[in-house]
Structure 1
Amino acid sequence: MSNYLLCCDWGTSFFRLQLLRYSDDQCVGELIAREGIAGTFDAWRKTGAINGLTREHFFRRQLRQQIQVLAQQVSVDLTKVPLVISGMASSSIGMEEVPYATLPFALDGSQASVRYYEAQPDFPHEMLLISGVRSQQDVMRGEETQLIGLIALLSQAGVGTTEAIFVFPGTHSKHLYVQNGRLLNFTTYMTGELFDLMAHQSLLRESVEVSSLTTFSASNKSAFRRGVRQATTSGLLNGLFTTRTNQLFETLTKSQNAFYLSGLIIGAELYPLLTQTDWPLVICSGSRLTAFYELAIDELTLSARTTILPAELIDKAASKGQMLLFRNQTVKETTR
């Protein structure tokens, strides 16, 4: 058994590789790159496939390069250290497509859909590829592993999570309905992607100043709250055009209007939670989005039933889930 485990969270547009100490789950090294699954897949189609490389071999080669960089950073020989990967690597544009797990999904990891690979001469790492979860009309890859790790971390801290909606903000935000140790359902909102499209590629790009979104002045926060309220009254589609008229009529500055647009879109995402009155809410954001969601939660008067988890806890969730799934797999292999 290796003293370490390599944990890789490989998303559409980012790559994160961590080296964890197996005995205590502590991270002893990390590498973050912009070489996401989408770019890697495109590179394989343009160069690897033409040169006769299989998709799996091309992805392994990319992984080996990143592992070598991390090995140099931490001054540790990572040969034969096992590797666990979650995220988009198991998708149709990943290393190999692995079928989704289905609902209800046990959060001890026992129902996870995984693919195990033995070490190869040119890739001396046994590897576990974790797939995602699907419902009748929705899919996700990566968040289920984060959720498994998060539930375990909360349990270790003595925090009960019998029933709650876990909100994972992001490009494609997820609302995960958890009850009695199982994921029952989830919904996806294209929150971040819609904001990016509207702010950079639509008619509204001339009406907002996105660079101001780090300045939480009183006037900017007021504009954000106004956007949240707009989402609950006239709705998203009309509210989007109001972003244009805010600037035309000089109701808001471009900086304020960027906050207004953000509030409008986040407000539209969170608005359905007003009807979920029996569910506590847990905001799981390890990024700058936390401040925006806090403000929206307050404006929607949802604060009384909302817990906002600290960023450092969210940061550990994916690798914790990967570690648990690898241990589960190891137990299965040894009992066969």
Structure 2
Amino acid sequence: MTNKNTPEYLIIDWGTSNLRIFLMSDNDTLLSKKESVMGLLKVENGNFAAVLESILMDWLPNFHKLPIFMAGMVGSANGWFAVDYVETHVNLRKLSNKSYHFDLPWSAPATIVPGIVHCNNNTKDVMRGEEVQVFGLLEHIGINNRKTNSLTAILPGTHSKHVSVYQDEITEISSFMTGELFSVISQHTILSKDLSVQHFNSDAFSLGVKEGQTTQLTRVLFQARTHKLFNIIENEYVESYLSGLLIGNELQHVAKQPVYLIGSPNLCNSYQLACDILAIPATCLNGDDCFISGMIRLKQNLSFNKN
């Protein structure tokens, strides 16, 4: 009989900037977690196997026989292997069937889950990794606890994702460069000049959310400067205003119906506050919890031969 604390497999969320590894038991219980800044951008010459082996050797001396299940940008054109996107509508089985299997240099089996592409007329939108969290969300809330067949999930981040789900299928994706815009604008534009040390202020954030309800974002963005010049917001709260403005603009077309926020507590808290201001009912869920739950379900659906 397998001990419930015996390591059985690894789940990996490998993104552009970071790497998160979850050690799982035979009964799908999380045993331990490892985080690293060795995202795709820091892996030189495509040496993903060497980087992963080095990290695992320092953490888990007996990892060599553990199957590994990966998702995220590791399956992109700049990742370990380029795994084709699966086109919406997508359920767990379809995503599992299109997963890519290979053997690691140390002979353990590995799987990379594909991302999803959504086509709308002549435009396309994509995501990698977030789809796993959305399927994990469905596990957390349970089909019997859903009041309707459809739901909306919002995953804040560098490129925030809005995901529509009908029954057990992802049907639509919309991406917003909110996080990246905040980083660029707050560090490399006139709006970042002569700022004191920044502190969060709910009033400045709320003002930003409300003024973000506009189709003229590039005009309203300049108010981050004029509001400071004319003492409408204090110098130390400019980034609070800017954050509210960008998040509010992202959320302006979200229906006043319940949404689920999936991600880190800090990001979700900001979106939760913005949703409260805009009268959008929102529930926050931890991103890692949803990722693990989604990967467990995917693993159960995979036609995978264990060695």
| Common fold: TM-score over 0.5 | yes
Quote the residue 1:329 is aligned against: 302
Quote the residue 2:179 is aligned against: 192
Compute the TM-score of the two structures, normalised by the length of structure 2: 0.89
Structure 1: where are the runs of 5+ without partners?
A: 45-54, 214-219
Does residue 135 of structure 1 match 2:124? Answer: no
Alignment of 1:243-254 (within 5 A): 243-254=224-235
> What is the SS of the residue equivalent to 1:245?
helix
Alpha-carbon deviations, 1:252-274, whole Å to 9, x = none? Answer: 1122221110110000000011x
Distance 1:165 1:244, change over 3 A: same
Query: Could you tell which deviates more after superposition, 178-187 or 282-291?
Result: 282-291
Does residue 281 of structure 1 match 2:267? Answer: no
Residues 154, 261 of structure 2: 8 Å contact kept = yes
> Aligned equivalents of 1:31 and 1:256: distance in 2?
34
Structure 2: where are the runs of 5+ without partners?
A: none
Residues 198, 204 of structure 1: 8 Å contact kept = yes
Alpha-carbon deviations, 1:91-110, whole Å to 9, x = none? Answer: 1110111100110011x343
Quote the residue 2:244 is aligned against: 263
| 1:324 Cα deviation from its structure 2 partner | 2.0
Residues 207, 257 of structure 1: 8 Å contact kept = no
> Aligned equivalents of 1:152 and 1:109: distance in 2?
14
The code of the aligned residue for 2:189 comes to: S
Residues 6, 84 of structure 1: 8 Å contact kept = yes
> Aligned equivalents of 2:81 and 2:217: distance in 1?
37
User: How many residues were matched structurally?
Assistant: 296
The code of the aligned residue for 1:317 comes to: C
The code of the aligned residue for 1:82 comes to: P
Does residue 18 of structure 1 match 2:4? Answer: no
| 1:130 Cα deviation from its structure 2 partner | 1.1
Structure 1 segments of 4+ aligned residues over 3 angstroms from their partners = 109-112, 207-211
> What is the SS of the residue equivalent to 1:308?
strand
Q: Over the residues paired in the alignment, what is the CA RMSD in angstroms?
A: 2.1
> What is the SS of the residue equivalent to 1:134?
strand
Residues 60, 123 of structure 1: 8 Å contact kept = no
Residues 261, 285 of structure 2: 8 Å contact kept = no
| Structure 1 or 2: more helix by fraction | 1
| 1:3 Cα deviation from its structure 2 partner | 5.1
Quote the residue 2:82 is aligned against: 97
Match of 1:291 among 269, 277, 285: 269
| 1:281 Cα deviation from its structure 2 partner | 1.5
> Aligned equivalents of 2:195 and 2:141: distance in 1?
39
> Aligned equivalents of 1:168 and 1:209: distance in 2?
30
| Structure 1 or 2: more strand by fraction | 2
Residues 224, 260 of structure 1: 8 Å contact kept = yes
Quote the residue 1:111 is aligned against: 95
Match of 1:33 among 29, 36, 40: 36
- Give aligned-pair identity as a percent: 27
> Aligned equivalents of 1:109 and 1:145: distance in 2?
12
Query: Could you tell which deviates more after superposition, 191-200 or 2-11?
Result: 2-11
Compute the TM-score of the two structures, normalised by the length of structure 1: 0.82
> Aligned equivalents of 1:243 and 1:268: distance in 2?
14
